[in-house]
Amino acid sequence: MWIFDSYHRGTVELWDRDRGSARPLTFRYSPSFCLHLEDPHAHWEMMEGLEGRFRVEERAFETVYGPLDGYEIWAPRGVAEKIEKQTRMAAHLYNVDLRIDQRYLAERDLFPCGRDGESRFDPDFEIPLTSMAIEVEGDPRLSKAVGEVRVRTGRRETVLRGAEGEILADLFETVRICDPDVLLFPDGDLWVPRMAAKAEGYGLDQSLSRTGSFRKMAARSYWSYGKVEHKSGASIPEGRVLIDTKNSFVYREGGLRGVVLASRLTGLSPNLTSRFTPGTLVSNYEVYEALRRGIAVPFRKADAEAQRKVGDLKAADKGGMIFQPRPGVYEQVHELDFTSFYPSIIVNYNLSPETVDGGGKRGFLSSVIEPLLDLRLETKRLKKADPRYRGLDSVLKWMLVTCFGYTGYRNAKFGRIEVHEAITSISRDLLLQAKEVAEGLGLLVLHGIVDCLWVKGGDVFAVSLFKERVEALTDIATEVEAYDWIAFLPLADGFGAYNRYFGRFSSGGLKVRGVFARRRDTPEYVRRMQTEVFEKMGVARSIEELRRVEGEAREIAGRYRRGLEGADPSEMIIRRRISRLHYDKRCVQASVVSAYRRKGVKLSAGMTAGYVVRDARKWEVDAEGDASGFDPDYYGALLEKAWEEAAFVFGFIEDGGG
């Protein structure tokens, strides 16, 4: 059995691609939940009532903290919620809010996108799925009509034109004939619900879903790491994988193989893994592992944080270590990076909710992160020789990055803030120890950010010895990158910025962080100017050679300044997240919301909106696609700021700092 889609609709539905054409398999499955009561006798009437209506069995069940005596109850979630109310939250409930198809697979040691006998952690796996690419002309946020559609299968491309009803009929017929397993569809989560609704209006039999039915995901706005995010709704076809290639983070990072790998690891269908964030993926991976191991998953968190004194909280509440650099340009610099630093600490120090206070047994969290970490180290090694593994490595990297954040998330099933604090505490000690090793070898530490250090001085032998000793000391793999030169930029107060720097690798190419060229809201015209300047600087292998390219870099910036008046307004689009829809004061966000309302486009908090500034003094803006002009003074100031970031290097050299 090679499962590529799964869901629950009264029964568990698994779509198999193992023999010829895709086929659905149906399984009856009645999920249960577990209940533990500190004082069962105090709730005997409730238990009698439950036993009279549902199947109830006394049993012990495993949790990460050990076995608990209690009951297994075959009843829906609503019953569990009523138990909470009746016991005034004294009940401890487990396995209540789980995805039924994921649970069915985990309890039988099955997983999607793989066969019996395969390891989920094998980076080499086949994908016996056929695919079709669909692209609709235009932006679904700005146009409600389905216009020209391009369909690609293999090397063959077909363009569908005509009236909307004819285009949809041709599209559905093409899908029906080709019968692909995977639809690769940019903005598919916006177009497909619209197509399904229009098909009904035109009296067409849509074929995007193999059963004719769709599973719905609601749109929502939510807070994440201090920012408002927005997730669009979706209509997910049954028996077919639909990937919104434009808006899927996992697909963007790892392609179809990345989506499939995430499915193998989490026990979720590719339809879900293509839509979930790395944090949701790693959370589901932990849930799947718990179920597979027979560990009950808590419904409500009871161990988010233990009671502590204020002094203890102040001592523990610290993040990763950061050294403030001295602004300047430095030659012959080496950067040492720890590979998957925080996940390695979780594994090496056996950190888990049940072990953080002590205890010799292997912790749940460290044991489930270890194979994920091993797989990441393998894909990181493999991608150096074969670029096919880059996407897998990227997906694993982001899952492991977020596994640290989830240890401190109050609703994480297997999170606890003390684990989060222990990780950062150990990381600070390890970075300080690495700094001491560097200084003991005569190397000058220029900068450090959480899991990496930049050092200057010494020969190749000293740097190699530095890497070797740090790995022996920390038992964590590292990588070293050599720079011909690197520039650390200043803050407004003159001190060094933590995360704004750029430099030339000795192997060629540039590393650029925190500047205009890397920011998501930078207009393309400004980004292009700074990128060209950096590329010109990138030919210089030393400070002396940087001096010689200054004139050419200035000419590039000058050319963009002179060309600003005649530039295309479409290159002036700024894209920013709209945090809310109502503002008391006049500001650019309020103007953006108004501009989109005039177009008849409904924005939601957390959405990213594109706009062009027409008059900065009055904060007048045009929505993306409507701009016929722009404020040259405003964009000229952005060009100047972008130039100043690059020109810092030349000023530093001119002042004798180089």
CATH of the domain at 31: 3.30.342.10
Domain closes at, from 42, 73, 107? 107
Cβ proximity of 120 and 111 under 8 Å:
yes
Q: Using N-to-C axis directions, what is the helix angle for 417-440 and 341-348, rounded to 10°?
A: 110
What are the tokens at 248? Answer: 């899927």
pLDDT bracket for residue 304 (50, 70, 90): low
Cα 633 to the chain's mean position, in Å? Answer: 36
Overall number of domains in the chain: 4
The 10s digit of each residue's pLDDT in 229-267 is 788 899 999 999 999 999 999 999 999 999 999 999 999
CATH of the domain at 472: 3.90.1600.10
Q: Are residues 348 and 481 in the same domain?
A: yes
Which range, 14-23, 280-289, 352-361, has the best average confidence (pLDDT)?
Answer: 280-289
d(Cα 514, Cα 497) in Å, to the nearest integer? 9
- Residue 246 covered by a domain: yes
pLDDT bracket for residue 332 (50, 70, 90): very high
Q: Is the pLDDT of residue 585 over 80?
A: yes
Query: What is the maximum alpha-carbon separation in the chain?
Result: 87
pLDDT bracket for residue 514 (50, 70, 90): very high
Strand ranges of the sheet holding 131-136, from the earlier edge strand across to the other edge = 156-160, 149-153, 131-136, 182-184, 241-243
Q: Is the pLDDT of residue 220 over 90?
A: no
d(Cα 510, Cα 498) in Å, to the nearest integer? 18
pLDDT at 314: 66
Q: Are residues 279 and 344 in the same domain?
A: no
Q: Are residues 150 and 248 in the same domain?
A: yes
How does the average pLDDT of the chain come out, rounded?
A: 93
Domain closes at, from 488, 514, 540? 514
Report the range of poorest mean pLDDT among 156-170, 377-391, 396-410, 609-623. 396-410
What are the tokens at 160? Answer: 């569908």
Cβ proximity of 607 and 645 under 8 Å:
no
DSSP state of 295: B
Beta strands at 182-184 and 241-243: parallel, antiparallel or unpaired: parallel
Q: Are residues 159 and 287 in the same domain?
A: yes
Report the range of poorest mean pLDDT among 12-21, 93-102, 192-201, 445-454. 12-21
Mean pLDDT of 265-289: 96
Cα 398 to the chain's mean position, in Å? Answer: 6
pLDDT bracket for residue 303 (50, 70, 90): low
Q: Is the pLDDT of residue 651 over 80?
A: yes
The residues pairing with 242 across neighbouring beta strands, listed in sequence order, are 183
d(Cα 447, Cα 455) in Å, to the nearest integer? 7
Q: Are residues 252 and 339 in the same domain?
A: no
DSSP state of 286: H
Q: Are residues 82 and 25 in the same domain?
A: yes
pLDDT at 223: 74
Boundaries of domain holding 371: 322-514
Q: What is the dihedral of CA 180, 186, 192, 194, to 10 degrees?
A: -150
Q: Is the pLDDT of residue 72 over 70?
A: yes
Does the predicted TM-score (pTM) go above 0.95? no
The 10s digit of each residue's pLDDT in 80-126 is 999 999 999 999 999 999 999 999 999 999 999 999 899 999 999 99
Percent of the chain surpassing pLDDT 70: 97
Q: Are residues 360 and 452 in the same domain?
A: yes
pLDDT at 131: 97
Q: Which residue shows structure tokens 């592992």? A: 289
pLDDT at 256: 98
Mean pLDDT of 17-45: 93
